[in-house]
Chain A
Amino acid sequence: MNEERRLIYHYLRHDKKFPHVWCPGCGNGIVLGSLIRTVHALGLSKDEVVLVSGIGCAGRLPVYVDFNTLHTTHGRALTFATGIKLAKPHLKVIVIMGDGDATAIGGNHLIHAARRNVDLTAIIVNNNIYGMTGGQSSPTTPHGLRASTSPYGHAEHAFDIARLVEAAGASLVARGTIYHVNLLDKLFQRAMEKVGFAVVEVISHCPTHFGKLNFLGDAVESMRWMAEHAVAVERAKKMRPEELQGKFRIGVLVDRDMPDYQSEYEKVRKRAMEGVPYRIDPQEISKMLESHQIY
């Protein structure tokens, strides 16, 4: 407890920015706690951490922490983060977004940041709804459920964020929940240590809107639902498909080594600085074309 208190004092802007804006039972505080513990565990200095967010409930997270913090526009956090990272590669740039922020208005930036494999840590807090604006449906609202703009049941189908960013080219893809906090600490650590675009989807909840509209009970009840439905990836491997029906996997889903954008661009800089025209060996050309994967 003393250690916890020391961390709070060290990392939070306790003298200015509290009380916070989040509702009772919100998962964002759990995500924030996990984030701080991870930065601490990795021994990162506060000066080298840049925390970037978009708009929404999760977007309010950076203001409370004593890092270099940037609260951008709705959906565009990854674009600002890309600029920061490319301009000052030694900085540890962490981006925090909500599901609407990252996959609706920011969906294009999400897939392109993944495709470029920019060395960023992207945390997507998925509570299946737009919380701040009053419970409207998001790209992760499950089909058939209610939202304040889907009063007759949601007609659309949800994104699987993890598969989306995996297909787009992210180096590391993980999923955790606000219930499995120890795991979340580990996933954040893996993501921050990874060179390349690393995404952690955090399954969260919104008792105020999503929970209320869909009779999911209070925060405790929806966290119990997470405990009952999450299956660790290691265990899921040993389970039959019918056993996995209705469950979701948590843990590191994808971890692959690919050159990140910064190291690729460094090659470009080197060629440009040498001033030698870029010529490709004809045999290399066919190899490059073949490596362009189309299924």
Chain B
Amino acid sequence: MGGEEERRPKLIQGNEACAEGAIAAGCRFYAGYPITPSSEIAEVLSYRLPAVGGTFIQMEDEIASLGAVIGASLAGVKAMTATSGPGFSLMQEHIGFACMAEVPCVIVNVMRGGPSTGLPTSPSQGDVQQARWGTHGDHPIIALTPWSVRECFELTVRAFNLSEKYRTPVILLMDEVVGHMRENVVLPDPSSLEIFDRVKPSVPPEWYIPYEDTSFGVPPMAPFGEGYRYHVTGLTHDVRGFPTLREDEIEPFMARLFRKIWSHLDDIQTWDTFQMEDADICIVAYGSVARAAKRAVLEAREKGKKVGLVRLITIWPFCRRAIEEALKGCKVFLVPEMNMGQISREVKRVVRGRGEVLTVSKALGRLLTPNEILEPILEESR
């Protein structure tokens, strides 16, 4: 990266932009397993990573891929994997491990139609709730949803920053359209990017308590091999990392696991608004569907309807405040999704009867059209 060559507009895919974002964020380890529609991320990184001194490895399956990623991260190297639907299902156990052991890593899921093998080359947003609840046990999670090629780059960088800052797996939820779509983009100058690296312990090894609570909620993380010998386990553990069954140790641990995310929502949650200033109807959309929704807003405005768009960028933790703010002016919400209504239930949960929540839920393996989004709006205000 760097130099004039890189600053010129390039016609690239979302998947390619994601891979370049990873390199720019300092990712130097990728382990993955081929699966459509995410394969280009692996292909680009198999070419790019060794050239920057990093490591690319194609593992025997997706379980192994995330295992290797977590191992590399524990050794102090920023690491990522990318997959789609079925592979994402296989990764769930290790997402839980990364939550429990607080290992930073980025998991890209380029969503395709499901369940099961589903619609391998077609877009979907069917894994939104799986990203939240896919692994067993209670845990917070961060997931981001890009809507453009440039944002694939930016949110990959952001995913790494958040994972390093909060010692948590971060899921980048792309969809097939965003992943395969080509746009002419100028990628940001890597030197202009804000890159966050995990905080290492500043105390001598004998004082280091690997899972000690801090005011920020995130304990410093020592890489393996640098003198801070400690235990990492998927078992519920005490502040030293040792397995525990004691209530007085389990409770503060679980509380901190949640607090480190929930007390930093200002930093983690982002959303975008479009023509919301005077809107009385609010479309809530994310990913490629938000592109069609934006078009629907413009067309509705032409017809004299005061429609605005809230585009979710952070999809987990769910941006409650985005909806609360929209509620000040809007009594009607419309949630178009390429699934059977996974985020609309979150919107309903926040709206709680203070407005009407309409849905356009289509899991047809194709992008929603502006007309399909517009239709219920025109009917509603008829």
Contact = CB atoms under 8 A, between A and B. Distances in A.
Contacts of A271: 50
Interface residues of B, number: 46
Interface stretch (B64-72, B270-278, B303-311): B64-72
Contacts of A218: none
A46 B229 contact: yes
Contact of A17 (B224, B234, B242): B242
Contacts of B223: 88
Interface stretch (A59-67, A190-198, A202-210): A59-67
Contacts of B226: 47
Contact of A84 (B47, B63, B71, B227): B71
A189 B63 CA distance: 31
B67 A72 contact: yes
A112 B71 contact: no
Contact of A76 (B64, B77, B243): B64
B74 interface: yes
B29 interface: yes
Contacts of B93: 73
A90 B77 CA distance: 14
Interface centre among A16, A62, A83, A109 (most CB of B within 10 A): A83
Interface in A56-88: 62-63, 66-73, 76, 79-88
Nearest to A80: B71
Interface string B281-313: 000000000000000000000000000000000
Chain A interface size, as a band, is 35 or more
A213 interface: no
Given A16-B240, A80-B67, A70 B229 contact: no
A108 interface: yes
B57 interface: yes
B205 to A, nearest CB: 9
Given A17-B242, A50-B224, A76-B64, A84 B74 contact: yes
Contacts of B50: 265, 268-269, 271-273
A138 to B, nearest CB: 19
A275 interface: yes
B229 A47 contact: yes
A275 B48 CA distance: 10
Interface string A81-123: 1111111101100000000000000001100100000000000
What is the predominant secondary structure among interface residues of chain A facing chain B?
A: helix
Nearest to A46: B229
Nearest to B55: A86
A48 interface: yes
A270 B63 CA distance: 29
B64 A109 contact: yes
Given A63-B243, A73-B97, A76-B63, A84 B229 contact: no
Contacts of A13: 231, 242
A91 B51 contact: no
Contact of A82 (B47, B68, B225, B232): B68
Nearest to A71: B233
A271 B243 CA distance: 45
Contacts of B74: 70, 80, 83-84
Contacts of B28: 87
Given A76-B63, A273-B51, 11 more contacts: A16-B242, A50-B224, A68-B229, A70-B233, A80-B70, A83-B68, A83-B72, A87-B72, A87-B76, A88-B223, A272-B51
In order of increasing CB-CB distance, the 5 nearest A-B pairs are: A83-B71, A79-B67, A83-B68, A272-B50, A80-B71
Interface of B: 28-29, 31, 47, 49-51, 53, 55, 57, 59-61, 63-65, 67-77, 79, 93-94, 97, 223-227, 229-235, 240, 242-243
Interface of A: 13, 16-17, 46-48, 50, 52, 62-63, 66-73, 76, 79-88, 90-91, 108-109, 112, 265, 268-269, 271-273, 275
17 contacts: A68-B229, A70-B71, A70-B74, A70-B231, A81-B71, A82-B59, A83-B29, A83-B31, A83-B68, A83-B70, A84-B72, A85-B71, A87-B71, A87-B75, A91-B225, A108-B61, A275-B51
